[in-house]
């Protein structure tokens, strides 16, 4: 599921285009020959950037952040990307001094400067005892993303009484796409630049910070058992972690596959002491090189013992291992079958002892029957119980966007992954169904007892490489809420865009209402009206943040707008820092707990508005009676921009 090249570009010419693509995607090393300088002060960072980076980051490749976005990042984050992150292969030919010089040139910062804190430190670091709250992903809820009053502490009638209580900004970041979990009186979430952090749920002060190998874009899963206060998540380069919620100490870490392109993008699923982790990859980008043997990765789900970190099984989405299947136009071996990555959190079905995941496209020809499919696996051993493929013949990789397209499969797309997680829901008649939403703009209901037989399907959006239905849906009773992105994908995806929020009936798929989003972006650059991020439901309403930067709540019965908040602005964040909101994207939707609403804003990637904040909303403070003149003046309370106690 490559959310990279939008709109679909005309195929570019020559090796320069391939190099540009590789610089953007992590596919090829730079040509050798860079000077062996070690002191960034002796290296012209601007010249190195122009020689090795500008052709890509100047707009030739859509996946590559523009220079203006790079300039929002810190020198440390840029350097880390080149030395241990996604840009490591490209920067391997540069000396340490050249890498540092480029980082300092782009950021305007001195690498010797002391890094800023995420937020002011709390006076106490211990977690609070009591009821454990959990997030919407990964803990025995079928991925319904419904927050009952007992958890949310609010219903639709309380939305008008919300106000921003505090904001926390992530230093050195241009996106915030890890969904928080609320537990033990804290908010836990990952970040682009600061690892995983624990914030006091009411005040926002920092309790602890845990460093990770790479960006954490997955949601955080908190164990609901107070006897085992563990947190689980994955990072961008494929590591799975368990850490102690009390202090951020590492309990175990594992990389479940040795493929160099492995990545983990979805929150794991926790059930009965087992952790189920979805595996995806960025190998579609490596295929830009005609000399690369495409492709060797197969999607998978891995089961761990949640407490010890011991692997119990790994079940591939494609049972057959890749083998030689011919050669491409450059004479390089083609490997197949490949692909069918899993970008989404498994939904757990304890009654049937199964989990359900959606897969992406094949990476190489020939395409086969496990791509663009819903797959049921047994919880005990990972055996595939059934497969329902909804789009046949979908094989695609980034070479299909280039002039030198030797590795482009004959099928040439359309790249219709299942990015959104499956949902287990129950009809009014008491029948269970598996709901799924695809980047094609279609939603489906499958029969878990009938070997995944299709019960109904509905075309809602135009579809495209970023959806259609992108990162998540919600269910509350018989209401099935489906956000539609319909980000412009070019001539490959013709038709009318229908961005906005739908409510469907779980049992029939009939549309109850559609709240269309008009394009009100105006002069906002990288602004779109659709909804890419997941929805979250409460009694009487459904909430979602859109790519135009506005968080909205819709009436459950009519679809009318109940409440909205525009996050495209500067925020006075805790500690006196400045943060900024932007587009909502990634698998991070609103989280509601104990009368508070938490949401991250900023999606500076794939042509969306950058931002770097976590926003916390709570009930408005009651209006106090005037203080008598003789009374002692009160002490000002902490608010956005004030240091936390």
What CA–CA distance (Å, rounded) separates 181 from 643? 23
Question: By C-alpha distance, which of 178, 234, 30, 59 is closest to 601?
Answer: 178
Q: What is the pLDDT of residue 539?
A: 98
Distance from C-alpha of 238 to C-alpha of 255, rounded to nearest angstrom:
6
Task: Report the C-alpha gap between 510 and 492 in whole angstroms.
Answer: 28
End-to-end CA distance of the chain: 44
What's the 3-state SS for 42-60?
HCCHHHHHHHHCHHHHHHH
Q: d(Cα 453, Cα 140) in Å, to the nearest integer? A: 24
Tens digits of per-residue pLDDT, 399-432? 988 888 999 999 999 999 999 999 999 999 999 9
Q: At what angle do helices 96-107 and 45-52 cross, to 10 degrees?
A: 100
Residues of the chain with pLDDT under 50: 1-38, 62, 630-645
In what helix (H) or strand (E) does residue 286 lie, and over which residues does it extend? helix 283-286
Q: What pLDDT score does 68 carry? A: 60
Q: Which residue, among 184, 182, 177, has the nearest Cα to 152 in the 3D structure?
A: 182
Tokens of 445: 């209901």
Question: 78: closest CA among 93, 60, 58, 98?
Answer: 98
Q: Torsion angle of alpha carbons 189, 5, 488, 419, nearest 10°?
A: -40
What pLDDT sits at residue 332?
A: 95
- CA gap 464, 473 in Å, rounded: 17
Pairing of strands 240-244, 250-254: antiparallel
């Amino acid at each position: 599921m490559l959310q990279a090249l939008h709109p679909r570009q005309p195929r570019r010419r020559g090796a320069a285009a391939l190099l540009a693509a590789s610089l953007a995607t992590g596919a090829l090393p730079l040509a050798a020959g860079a000077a062996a300088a070690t002191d960034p002060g002796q290296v012209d960072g601007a010249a190195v950037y122009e020689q090795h980076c500008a052709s890509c980051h100047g707009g030739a490749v859509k996946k590559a952040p523009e220079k203006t976005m790079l300039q929002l990042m810190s020198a440390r984050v840029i350097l880390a990307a080149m030395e241990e992150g996604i840009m490591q292969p490209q920067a391997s030919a540069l000396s340490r001094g050249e890498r540092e010089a480029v980082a300092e040139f782009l950021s305007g910062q001195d690498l010797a400067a002391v890094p800023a804190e995420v937020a002011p430190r709390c006076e106490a670091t211990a977690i609070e005892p009591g009821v454990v709250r959990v997030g919407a992903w990964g803990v025995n809820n079928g991925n319904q993303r419904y927050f009952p009053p007992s958890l949310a502490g609010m219903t639709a009638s309380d939305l008008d009484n919300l106000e921003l209580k505090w904001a926390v900004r992530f230093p050195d970041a241009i996106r915030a796409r890890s969904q928080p979990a609320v537990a033990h009186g804290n908010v836990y979430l990952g970040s682009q630049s600061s690892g995983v952090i624990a914030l006091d749920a009411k005040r926002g002060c920092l309790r602890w910070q845990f460093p990770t190998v790479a960006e954490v874009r997955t949601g955080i899963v908190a164990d609901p058992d107070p006897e085992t206060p563990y947190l689980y998540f994955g990072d961008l380069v494929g590591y799975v972690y368990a850490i102690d919620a009390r202090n951020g100490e590492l309990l175990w870490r594992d990389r479940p596959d040795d493929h160099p392109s492995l990545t983990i993008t979805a929150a794991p699923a926790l059930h009965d002491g087992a952790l189920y982790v979805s595996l995806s990859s960025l190998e579609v980008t490596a295929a830009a090189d005609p000399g690369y043997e495409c492709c060797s990765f197969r999607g998978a789900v891995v089961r761990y013992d949640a407490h010890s970190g011991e692997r119990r099984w790994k079940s591939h989405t494609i049972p057959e291992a890749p083998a030689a299947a011919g050669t491409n136009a450059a004479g390089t071996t083609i490997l197949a079958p490949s692909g069918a990555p899993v970008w989404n959190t498994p939904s757990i079905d304890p009654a049937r002892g199964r989990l359900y995941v959606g897969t992406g496209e094949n990476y190489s020809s020939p395409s086969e029957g496990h791509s663009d499919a819903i797959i049921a696996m047994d919880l005990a051993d990972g055996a595939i119980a059934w497969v329902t493929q909804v789009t046949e013949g979908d094989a695609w990789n980034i070479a299909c966007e280039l002039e030198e397209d030797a590795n482009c499969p004959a099928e040439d797309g359309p790249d219709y992954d299942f990015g959104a997680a499956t949902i287990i829901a129950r009809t009014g008649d008491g029948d269970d169904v598996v709901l799924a939403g695809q980047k094609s703009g279609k939603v489906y209901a499958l029969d878990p007892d009938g070997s995944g037989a299709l019960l109904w399907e509905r075309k809602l959006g135009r579809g495209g490489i970023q959806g259609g239905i992108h990162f998540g849906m919600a269910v509350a009773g018989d209401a099935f809420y489906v956000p539609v992105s319909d980000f412009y994908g070019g001539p490959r995806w013709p038709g009318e865009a229908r961005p906005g929020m739908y409510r469907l009936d779980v049992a029939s798929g009939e549309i109850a209402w559609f709240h269309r989003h008009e394009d009100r972006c105006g002069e906002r650059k990288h602004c779109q009206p659709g909804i890419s991020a997941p929805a979250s439901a409460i009694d009487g309403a459904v909430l979602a943040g859109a790519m135009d930067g506005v968080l909205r709540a819709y009436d459950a019965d009519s679809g009318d707008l109940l409440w909205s908040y525009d996050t495209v602005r500067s925020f006075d964040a805790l500690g006196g820092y400045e943060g900024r909101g932007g587009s909502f994207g990634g698998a991070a939707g609103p989280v509601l707990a104990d009368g508070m609403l938490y949401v991250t804003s900023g999606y500076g990637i794939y042509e969306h508005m950058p931002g770097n904040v976590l926003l916390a909303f709570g009930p408005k403070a009651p209006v106090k009676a005037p203080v008598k003149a003789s009374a002692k003046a009160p002490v000002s309370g902490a608010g956005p921009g004030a240091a936390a106690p």
